[in-house]
């Protein structure tokens, strides 16, 4: 039996603009993860997802079944797999901006290749997870699959034919409170709506994307130099840019405002928006407790804290 995991992720800067070639920054979040368990099967391949009450033969799975898609992509890229039982569980909320889909794909790809004793690099896991993302999301930038496969903070630029991926370190630890509106929001819909807005108002949206890119650049410099107040200020600016792009919501704005009022250095929606999670940067553990409590009272559905170590 083989068991593999892949973490969730948050985007600190640059979601949506990253689809249009601007830089963005994401970090893995190991407090939540997807797990794939691969076991021998003597007859045919079975797909099992207890959280979804799913247990079926792969031959009966719909074409877009996410477990089946990930397995088929491994088969297409390497070679046919023998029958196996593939069980997937995940503590990452679905459609909430925490990279659940990419983490599930990465855990399965790692799991089945380890089960076969096929050594694969993080780059390979990321590339295959990207193929799955394309089937589910249409035009992904690739940032989700990259950060969950590399399990490292990344500065990411998506070009037409390749991606620029730089790992970096924080000079001071950064602590984030992550709070869920409880509203599910499919990435594909928000990304599609931004595309329509961009097509209708190219000048305005290109300028918004440019500014997001500059904020991400400045954010990376501030993280690397340990300028924590500036990181917070830039996060709040990024949230306003995302509001202007129409991907925030009253619930997200409310949680962002509550976090800042309770002492966060900055806060923003993270991921595709419209629902899902906000992230708030706090100075220390004491502030994390105060901000978490304020968010709980404001109705956040789940709250947890993650730290990007230096």
Q: Is 105 in the site for ligand PMV (CB under 6 A)?
A: no
Q: Is 93 in the site for ligand PMV (CB under 6 A)?
A: no
Handedness of CA 215, 217, 221, 223 (dihedral sign): positive
Q: Is 143 in the site for ligand PMV (CB under 6 A)?
A: yes
Beta strand 266-269 pairing with 277-282: antiparallel
Contact 161, 71 (CB under 8 A): no
Based on the shown chain and the rule CB under 6 A, indicate whether residue 8 belongs to the binding site for ligand PMV. no
Q: Which residue number, 18 or 33, has a Cβ lying nearer to ligand PMV?
A: 18
The residue annotated as part of the active site, out of 42, 64, 117, 144, is: 144
Round to whole Å and give the CA distance between 17 and 222: 20
Q: Which two tokens stand for residue 256?
A: 């962002």
C-beta closer to ligand PMV: residue 11 or 258: 11
219 binds ligand PMV (CB under 6 A): no
**Binding residue for ligand PMV (CB under 6 A) from 7, 12, 15, 28?**
15
**81, 84, 107, 191: which one contacts ligand PMV (CB under 6 A)?**
191
> Is position 108 an interface residue for ligand PMV (rule: CB under 6 A)?
no
Q: Which of 93, 97, 153, 213 binds ligand PMV (CB under 6 A)?
A: 97
Choice from 28, 66, 99, 111 touching ligand PMV (CB under 6 A): 99
User: What own/partner pairs with CB < 8 Å and gap ≥ 24 does 154-157 have?
Assistant: 154/25, 154/26, 154/27, 155/23, 155/24, 155/25, 155/216, 155/220, 156/18, 156/23, 156/24, 156/25, 156/26, 157/18, 157/21, 157/22, 157/23, 157/24
- Token pair of 11, please? 């985007």
- Binding status of residue 16 toward ligand PMV by CB under 6 A: yes
CB atoms within 10 A of CB 217: 17
Q: What interhelical angle do 228-244 and 202-225 show, nearest 10? A: 160
Does position 27 interact with ligand PMV (CB under 6 A)? The reply is no
271 binds ligand PMV (CB under 6 A): yes
Taking a C-beta distance cutoff of 8 angstroms, is the pair 34, 90 a contact?
A: yes
- Please choose, out of 14-22, 27-35, 80-88, 118-126, the segment that lies near ligand PMV by the rule CB under 6 A: 14-22
Return d(Cα 137, Cα 157) in angstroms, integer.
18
Total number of residues binding ligand PMV (CB under 6 A)?
A: 15
64 is catalytic: no
Smallest separation, CB 18 to ligand PMV (Å): 5
Q: How far is the CB of 170 from ligand PMV (least distance, A)?
A: 21
Q: What amino acid positions are annotated as catalytic residues?
A: 144
- The site for ligand PMV (CB under 6 A) is made up of 11, 15-16, 18-19, 97, 99, 140-141, 143-144, 187, 191, 271-272
């Amino acid at each position: 039996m083989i068991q593999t995991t892949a973490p969730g992720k948050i985007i600190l800067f640059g979601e949506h603009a990253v689809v249009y070639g601007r830089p963005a920054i994401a970090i893995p979040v190991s407090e939540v993860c997807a797990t794939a368990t691969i076991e021998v099967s003597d007859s045919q391949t079975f797909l099992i997802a207890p959280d979804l009450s799913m247990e079926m033969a792969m031959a009966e799975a719909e074409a877009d079944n996410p477990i089946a898609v990930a397995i088929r992509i491994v088969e297409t890229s390497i070679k046919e797999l023998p029958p196996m039982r593939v069980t997937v569980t995940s503590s990452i909320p679905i459609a909430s901006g925490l990279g659940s889909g990419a983490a599930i794909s990465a855990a399965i790809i790692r799991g089945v290749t380890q089960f076969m004793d096929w050594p694969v690099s993080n780059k390979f896991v990321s590339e295959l997870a990207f193929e799955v993302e394309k089937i589910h999301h249409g035009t992904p930038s690739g940032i989700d699959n990259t950060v969950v496969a590399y399990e490292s903070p990344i500065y990411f630029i998506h070009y037409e034919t390749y991606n620029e991926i730089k790992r970096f370190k924080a000079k001071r630890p950064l602590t984030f409170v992550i709070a869920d509106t409880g509203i599910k929001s499919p990435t594909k819909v928000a990304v599609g709506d931004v595309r329509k807005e961009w097509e209708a108002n190219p000048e305005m949206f290109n300028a918004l994307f440019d500014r997001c890119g500059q904020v991400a650049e400045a954010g990376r410099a501030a993280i690397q130099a340990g300028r924590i107040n500036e990181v917070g200020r830039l996060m709040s600016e990024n949230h306003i840019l995302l509001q202007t792009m129409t991907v925030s919501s009253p619930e997200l704005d409310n949680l962002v405002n509550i976090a800042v009022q309770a002492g966060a250095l900055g806060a923003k929606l993270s991921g595709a928006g419209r629902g899902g999670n906000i992230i708030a940067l706090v100075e220390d553990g004491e502030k994390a407790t105060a901000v978490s409590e304020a968010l709980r009272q404001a109705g956040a559905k789940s709250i947890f804290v993650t730290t990007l170590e230096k």
